[in-house]
Structure 1
Amino acid sequence: MKPPSLEALQDRQAIMDLVHVYCRAADRRDQTLMRSLYHEDAIDDHGGFFSGPAMAFIDKLPDIQAPMRILHHNITTSTVVQDGDYAEGEHYVLAYHQVEDNTAPLDLLIGGRYLDKYEKRDGDWKFTYRAVLADWATINQPSTVDLTHPMIAGSHIGRADTQDPSYQLFRLLQPGQPAPLP
């Protein structure tokens, strides 16, 4: 087995960065950043929730995310296979959502996978297709999250908007922008 070329390693890292920045864009509700991750003709398939042009999905995100107090996407196991300027990836995801409900907030924890297709166009890797699969889900209603518990007193508390503490701390990670690379 011969070692991968430097270009292949750079391409793989660019794809992994794309996958991770997607999570940040979703969790910070940053539609500008989210839009920059897809090619204009890309498809997003969230099953019965939404299936169609990715840009139309992103247009609907503010309404979809409106009842969600907390969003927290975590990538675990990833497999990426590349053939020139085309690649496919399967990424396991743990996605937590605290959702406002008529009676009480609920916790939705989904264990699932992203099934992705990517293309490198004009030197940039972006999604051309993303499907979301749910392998399992756990729901707690009412929510069991307690951000006022004394055990976390004084902790910085994350937010799903531009008031998130990361925006005050970081100079490079700002709304609509992934970290610039050399």
Structure 2
Amino acid sequence: MATYANTMETVIAKQDIRDVVMRYARGVDRADGELLKSCYWDDAIEEHGSTYSGPAHPYIDEAVPRMQKTGVMGHYVCNSHVDLDGDVAYAESYVITFARFEKDGEPWDTLTGGRIVDRMEKRDGEWKIAHRKIALDWNRDEPAAETWCLGLFDPDHPQMVLGKKGRADFSYERF
């Protein structure tokens, strides 16, 4: 039976579960396989639309080299709902994703809205994804038209920080 009343235990569990979802988004955007794998149990299943269905860790091993070669990506987690049932939870999180790909040698931007639905399991005191499915709700693709806020930002300025894949991204630094 799902639990809806918030107690200290359920609030902590829901936050732990949301932290896993946020860690996943960061791992995808940085193309960080180690961080991504930390979100899934070793026996977890990933159902990623029409592109993949099977064990999660091999999916990550296959996807990370691809992600490292693509342009900028951003996975934004919006509202989420968590149903707790003991050491099992179902979490539905709305996501908006941005990705830059090449099409015929030109940069294209794709914006997609959807939901990730996770069956989370708590094992040895830790929540991780046991099974993930995604639902894609909408998508918009268009040629890239980057003007950096109509020229407000100068990407060539030495103080401008641009995101990078992997641990070269400044977010891994501690300042």
TM-score (normalizing by structure 1): 0.85
Query: Partner residue of 1:158?
Result: 163
d(CA) in 2 for partners of 1:88 and 1:24? 21
Identity of paired residues, percent?
33
Matched-pair contact (CA < 8 Å) for 1:87–1:119? yes
Q: AA paired with 1:81? A: D
Matched-pair contact (CA < 8 Å) for 1:67–1:100? no
Unaligned runs of 5+ in 2: none
d(CA) in 1 for partners of 2:129 and 2:65? 22
Query: Partner residue of 2:145?
Result: 144
How many angstroms does 1:3 deviate by? 5.0
Matches within 5 A, 1:83-122: 83-122=85-124
How many angstroms does 1:131 deviate by? 1.1
How many angstroms does 1:36 deviate by? 1.0
How many angstroms does 1:149 deviate by? 6.0
Q: AA paired with 1:145? A: E
How many angstroms does 1:17 deviate by? 0.4
Q: AA paired with 2:66? A: I
Q: AA paired with 2:145? A: T
TM-score (normalizing by structure 2): 0.89
d(CA) in 1 for partners of 2:39 and 2:68? 22
State the superposition RMSD in angstroms.
1.8
Query: Partner residue of 1:60?
Result: 62
Query: Partner residue of 1:175?
Result: none
Q: AA paired with 1:132? A: I
d(CA) in 1 for partners of 2:6 and 2:150? 49
How many angstroms does 1:19 deviate by? 0.6
Unaligned runs of 5+ in 1: 172-182
How many angstroms does 1:102 deviate by? 3.1
* Pair 1:17-2:22 in alignment: no
Counterpart selection for 1:40 from 39, 42, 60:
42
Matched-pair contact (CA < 8 Å) for 2:90–2:120? yes
Matched-pair contact (CA < 8 Å) for 2:68–2:165? no
Matched-pair contact (CA < 8 Å) for 2:48–2:134? yes
Q: Which string of whole-angstrom CA distances, capped at 9 and with x for unpartnered residues, describes residues 15-50 of structure 1?
A: 010011110000011100111110111100112111
d(CA) in 2 for partners of 1:6 and 1:49? 39
SS of equivalent residue, structure 2 residue 58: helix
Q: Which string of whole-angstrom CA distances, capped at 9 and with x for unpartnered residues, describes residues 86-129 of structure 1?
A: 00011100000011233201101001100110000010000001
Matched-pair contact (CA < 8 Å) for 1:73–1:93? yes
Q: AA paired with 1:85? A: D
d(CA) in 1 for partners of 2:68 and 2:102? 9
Aligned length: 168
